[in-house]
Chains A and B, each alone.
Chain A
Amino acid sequence: MKMKEFAASVVKEFRHIFRDRRTILIAMVMPVVQIILFGFAVSTEVNDVRVVFCGDLSDAEVRRAVDRIDQNKYLRIVGRLDRPAEAEEMFRKNGADVAVCFERNYGSRMVASGHAGVRIIGDGSDPNTAQMIASYLKGVLQSEQSEVSVALAGDPRSSMTPVVQLMYNPAMKSSYNFVPGVMGLILMLICSMMTAVSIVREKETGTLELLLVSPVKPLWIIVSKMIPYLVLSAANFVSILLLSHYVMEVPVNGSLLLLSLAALIFVVTSLALGLLISVISSSQRTALLICGMGLTMPTMIFSGIIFPCESMPVILQWFSDIIPAKWFIIIVKKVMIQGDGLASVINELSILAGMAAILLAVSIKSFRTRLQ
């Protein structure tokens, strides 16, 4: 096949995309909307928490603890309670998210024994958030306690409570989890769904018959269909990265090149899947259904975007292993968030590349040169 015919096919495919408003909507607008939606609406993170406290302000230790809370980036002291029981009233008026109550003689007990009681009262009407805020607050206070002990007694014998610290994501930002997930989801959706639909559409309208009776080799028809979606995916990849960096403030700690390589392999896997779906479905509706039920749902469930894979039954864990998005998302997390290099993701990368090779071979082989 000569370059001219191939180029004409690619140009034609781009025209199909840009002349259909729905396609554009799905390909270019949906990723942005999803990222922003997940970022702001579906967030379970600790952010701008309003804290009220109850305790003796004349106590230096209490003052120190309160100051520390107030200086924290994610916490904000909004008031003082006379009695711990007032916390409930405060929550009901939506005046605070959490209450911290210091026991009487907090400072003197702390100095004397290194142990002092603090009660954290969370707003249980939103248990997930309350849980998260409480444990974050606990972390802040515990570091305070151990510092106190160190300063006063010379050795940290006081509190043996382990201090929980989340590496890479100290504020437990949910965007750290969903950005890789959404990236996987979107790339998969665009490549496989749109490729499948665009080939099946030609089946439905009968234009595939014309393409097949032309001297053009079927392989080139396929490749010319894939190129535009590859380009679209690249654009989406960049826009997701920009959005997550500048809007969600998720850092790219690792190598951008490695990340792009992983994305490229994943995109090829998805394109091959799309081609495979187009071979087995006879109508656009079937293709959409297969993509939705067969790809999007398992990707959401098994790739760890929503539920951690580790807490699933073993059989389901095995099942999750055959989902390409799972491996891609792991790579993105490692490279993007943890800043790992090639050595640590080489396993996942090889699995993904293997999947891409097998799927591509099978789908090209099954794309027939005839109608059947």
Chain B
Amino acid sequence: MTAIEIKHISKRYGKIRALDDISLKVDAGEIFGLIGPDGAGKTTLFRIMTTLMLPDSGSGTVCGLDIVKDYAGLRRIIGYMPGRFSLYQDLSVKENMDYFATLFGTTVRENYGTIKEIYSQIEPFADRRAGKLSGGMKQKLALCCALVHKPSVLFLDEPTTGVDAVSRKDFWNMLFRIKASGVTIFVSTPYMDEAARCDRLALIRDGSIIGTGTPSEIVSGFPFRLLSVRGSRMYRLLKELRNIPGVISCFSFGDSHHVTYDPAVTDRVRILARLSDAGFGDCTAMDIMPCIEDCFMWLSGRRDVPTAGQDGLRA
């Protein structure tokens, strides 16, 4: 069953093209990730899907309701957690919860079962002002407020931005449990490591979808081999690597360089040999599996290919 379907959505802000012909399909009950850097158009897409904005062209449905015409009905069945913390900082945790529950015609007690697991963690601070909560707590409160009316589809716009690693992991565990209760989750994130946790993904860049599929489909669509290279003079090494024939691209990746190479032209041993010829004798190189970020970098580098279909990605 399809929970969200959007077709050929475009949106401009004056001369800036925020979204360009976006089409997506999200199945009911899955966690769908929208992965892309800042400014890719993620928030605009969220606002269009949550009826907060009108697309310039294109159409879409959420749970079978049109995102333009049926906005009133749609607003009852979706939950939305905007990118930045958007609750009343001067109201207490409990007051925020009660207020949003009332707005949706329900009470916290009525839907306590839905939010219990998350709410129980912030309940000890029920009388604290929302503005005085820690980042992780704020995020849990916002999630509770978005869930308090038992939505069918939950839209989370960069929910983990600015949250520490432990809380992020926590948060994803909560998402899995929400998903288990039958809620479709549409989540965006700039963090590639979170992408692997989604059931399916769409990679977005500059307002265009550059690839969709399950994480493993996206990874298996990577047509080259990947090498993780470490050495002492990392910056000079990066420049040197880019000059080696057969190397498609090379990016700094934490404390190593990820080198994409064409296995038909070169291999690990030949690259290492080239490096030691150039005076980088202390390098170590290791063949690794590409991750989502490698795929993203590769996909966003080749804008000439409109869809990634032939490479095993679902467009």
Contacts and interface: CB of A to CB of B under 8 A. Distances in A.
Nearest to A20: B90
A210 B90 contact: no
Contacts of A205: 86, 88-89
Interface string B58-90: 000000000000011001101010111111111
Contacts of A9: 99, 103
Interface stretch (A11-19, A176-184, A305-313): A11-19
Interface string A211-233: 11111100000000000000000
- Residue among A210, A212, A214 with most chain B CB within 10 A: A210
Given A16-B90, A206-B82, A5 B103 contact: yes
Given A4-B102, A5-B105, A216-B103, A206 B75 contact: no
A205 B100 CA distance: 16
Interface in B160-194: none
A212 B90 CA distance: 20
B313 to A, nearest CB: 32
A370 B53 contact: yes
Contact of A2 (B80, B91, B105): B105
Contact of B105 (A12, A20, A210, A215): A215
A209 B80 CA distance: 9
A213 B100 contact: no
Contacts, number: 75
Contacts of A4: 102
Interface in A182-214: 205-207, 209-214
Contacts of B104: 214-215
Contact of A8 (B51, B75, B82, B102): B102
B103 A211 contact: yes
A58 interface: no
Given A209-B82, A369-B71, A8 B53 contact: no
B51 A370 contact: yes
B86 A207 contact: yes
Contacts of B95: 12, 15
- Residue among A9, A212, A214, A369 with most chain B CB within 10 A: A214
Contacts of B50: 213
A276 to B, nearest CB: 21
Given A15-B95, A209-B82, A372-B53, A214 B103 contact: yes
Contacts of B230: none
B289 interface: no
A8 B97 CA distance: 12
A299 B104 CA distance: 41
Contact of B52 (A2, A215, A216, A370): A370
Contacts of A15: 90-91, 95
Contacts of B53: 370-372
B220 to A, nearest CB: 37
B128 interface: no
Contacts of A369: 71
A19 B89 CA distance: 11
A302 B91 CA distance: 40
B103 A209 contact: no
B54 interface: yes
Contacts of B84: 206
A369 B72 CA distance: 10
B89 A8 contact: no
B98 interface: yes
Contacts of A370: 51-54, 71
A263 to B, nearest CB: 29
Nearest to B50: A213
Nearest to A220: B103
A204 to B, nearest CB: 10
A18 to B, nearest CB: 10
A210 B141 CA distance: 14
Nearest to A369: B71
Contact of B91 (A12, A213, A214): A12
Given A15-B95, A16-B88, A370-B51, A5 B102 contact: yes
Given A213-B51, A213-B78, A19 B102 contact: no
A205 B53 CA distance: 18
Given A2-B105, A206-B84, A371 B90 contact: no
Nearest to B74: A213
B47 interface: yes
Contact of A210 (B72, B80, B83, B89): B80
Interface of A: 2, 4-5, 8-9, 12, 15-16, 19-20, 205-207, 209-216, 369-372
12 contacts: A4-B102, A5-B102, A8-B98, A8-B99, A8-B103, A16-B90, A209-B47, A210-B86, A212-B75, A213-B80, A370-B54, A372-B53
Closest 8 CB pairs of A and B: A206-B86, A8-B102, A214-B103, A19-B90, A215-B76, A213-B80, A371-B52, A215-B75
Given A211-B103, A370-B54, 9 more contacts: A2-B105, A8-B102, A205-B88, A206-B84, A209-B52, A214-B100, A214-B104, A215-B72, A370-B71
